[in-house]
Amino acid sequence: MWPFTPSYPELSVDDVDGKTYDYIIVGGGTSGCVLASRLSEDPSVSVLVLEKGSVRDNFLSRIPLLSQNFRFPLLQSVSRLSEPIDGFHGRRARVWAAEGMGGASRVNAMLFTRGVPGGYNQWAEEFGLTDWSWDKVEPYFRKSENAYGRPGAGEYRGYSGPVENRPARLVVPSVGYTEKAAEAVGLPVVEDGNDPKASAQGIVNLDAAVNEKGQRVSSYGAWLSSHVANERRSHLSVCTRVVASKLIVDGGSSRVEGVQFRRVEDRTREPREFYVKARREVIIASGTLCSPQLLLLSGIGPREAIEPLGIPLVKEAPAVGRNLCDHVSVPICTEVPRQDTIHTIESPLVFIWNLLLYLLLGTGILAESSTARSIFVRSNTIDDETLAVKRRDENGEDTMDASSPRNVPNVEVMVIPLTGLIDMIPGQSLFTWYTTVVQPFSRGTVELASKNPLHHPRMNHPLLRDTRDLETMHKAVRFTMRLAEEFQAAYPHPAPLRFAPGMDLNVLDKLYSRENTITGVKIPELKPATAPVDKVGSTMSEKEAERVTKASKELSWRTATDDEIDVYIRRAAVSCFHVTSTCRMSLSPEDGVVDQRLKVHGFENLRVADASVFPMVTSAHTMAPTIMVAERCADFLKEDWRERKGQ
């Protein structure tokens, strides 16, 4: 906790057990903090937040660059491994998140991207969710933000919301040359990716949730800070280090009476259970993996997923835990001089200098996101021969119109002046083109591993199971290699590809063995999903790292074969940690879990409000859309109960 600020009013189970609250929010993550803050604006209602983690507002958690490292201690980050994935060498996808107030917004890259309007119009047209078209959601994006770094954009940006954000800065000069590479393949430079009138495709200057002091702006810091929590402690309660074990449903009715929960530290065979009662509503905001887990533990979900574990079926809901979506990424890496990458702070003197800049001025590399630029493109606009982007399709339609669902980008190439590989490579400074499929067809599932709420749920990750996604990634990888070639032509130093299709696969397998993903390689025994986070460090020796350079032939998009691209993808593809849609919105309970007002189908006072309700994953990073969902849910609750009181 920062000096001279009052301690956070975290409550224990004994403080809340047996009490009744108007609203109970299960989860204090990205969306839970928004909900708690908005609902507690009314001092006449009582709000309780049940959170698995703690507040732990420390210095490291506020430094933008360092707090992105999931493996650092004190950040409350947690990873979960999927089941082995067919067709990908028995690999398991690792999905990182955070358990603590603010959730993933405490450890992500802070990128505040809405996505193009056509994506939300697609929700309306394809899924019939007309209340979630662009014109319905856009006011909530503006409501949530303070775009202080974009003055003069009041027509489409907000300036009175809690999430301070500004354009991500170019912390190293190499990133600037990517604009020339993008222009060489026919893409425009988009100054503000959150401008709804901007081009659907292009190289985008991203916004990051960083305040004027150079500090990370998490959902916790923006909405439920120590100041807010203490100011509202008479009617806002935050109970941490607890896990919900079951929703209590009134027998034979559609009403949830309350929530049963236990201490996280209680690992006994028969842990003591506690209970709180809901006067109005229960809102689940536990995230894409844990929100369906709680529903299943409560007997709400597919019969075949519940009854085998001895859990009584309360409500058959076939879509609970289905339709898991995620962005999937394949890193393509160029080697550039160390001073032109974030690797420069591996030098003690450079790190000390940047630490001083941060402490004294709130500037320097440490005050930034690792990702300042991203390239968004629609794969069917990329010419098969030249890999240049076409501005008109075969019917003469504009491919840059951001309002049209047909132009929603399905590929993002994040520009990261740092290694995007699973592990560091001693002696090498890498610049990553993080090639990502952002509109996947592949779907996975979340199921119960046991009746214990502290056990991670079983995740069948979609990765690139659908052949259409694999085809898109093939084209995207070759397109990225073309971008890397154009970058080399513009950049004043040598910038050869080091990690790309056609490279020595033994080097790649050795590197990725640390994550225990490749079969047929001598690797340690798989750790269970509940294992602690690995320690920081590299599995590659300096000598082995030299092989990367010596064994790298000239890698090129022209000479890479389809087979080389395929084997590279199947070894290097990873989750981008943007999992969504396991409790997706729908017009019927057969197709989804919640309705357009986020109420669980068949229940009168149970809602879900987090990324799990997206009908499909957005073409943007998911923080801003998740916040938008929470903002809308808070308004739905206020409107519904205002109407009830008025009757």
The tens digit of pLDDT for each residue in 188-205 reads 999 999 999 999 999 999
Q: Which residue has the tokens 């909405």?
A: 223
Beta strands in 520-591 (DSSP E): 574-575
Contact status, residue 210 vs residue 112, Cβ threshold 8 Å? no
The model's pLDDT over 599-625, given as tens digits with 9 standing for 90+, comes to 999 999 999 999 999 999 999 999 999
101 with 240: CB under 8 angstroms? Answer: yes
Beta pairing, strands 94-98 & 77-81: antiparallel
pLDDT tens digit string along 111-165? Answer: 999 999 999 999 999 999 999 999 999 999 999 999 999 999 999 999 999 999 9
Q: Is the pLDDT of residue 522 over 90?
A: no
Give the CA distances from residue 171 to residues 63, 65, 217, in Å, rounded to whole numbers and listed in that order: 15, 11, 19
> What's the rounded mean pLDDT across residues 86-97?
88
Q: Which of 543, 332, 327 is nearest to 421 (CA)?
A: 332
DSSP 627: H
Q: Is 96 helix (H, G, I), strand (E, B) or coil?
A: strand
Q: What is residue 580's predicted lDDT score, i.e. its pLDDT?
A: 98
Task: Please tell me whether the overall predicted TM-score, pTM, comes out greater than 0.85 for this model.
Answer: yes
For the chain, give the mean pLDDT: 91
The DSSP element (H or E) to which 566 belongs, if any, is helix 562-572
Query: Which ranges constitute the DSSP H helices of 328-432?
Result: 348-361
If you search the block for the tokens 């009168």, which residue do you land on? 604
- Residue 5 has a pLDDT of 62
pLDDT of residue 533: 29
Q: What percent of the chain has pLDDT over 90?
A: 81
Q: Give Cβ neighbours of residue 630 (< 8 Å, ≥ 6 apart).
A: 30, 31, 32, 34, 35, 38, 285, 609, 610
CA distance 189 to 166: 17
- Distance separating alpha carbons of residues 13 and 19, to the nearest angstrom: 11
DSSP symbols for 258-323: EEEEEETT--SSSPPPEEEEEEEEEEE-SHHHHHHHHHHHTTEE-HHHHGGGTPPPSEE-TTTT--
Sign of CA dihedral 597, 603, 609, 613: negative
Which amino acid is residue 198, in one-letter code?
A: A
CA quadruple 228, 229, 232, 236: dihedral sign:
positive
- Whether the Cβ atoms of residue 206 and residue 167 lie closer than 8 Å to each other: yes
CB 617 within 8 A of CB 21: no
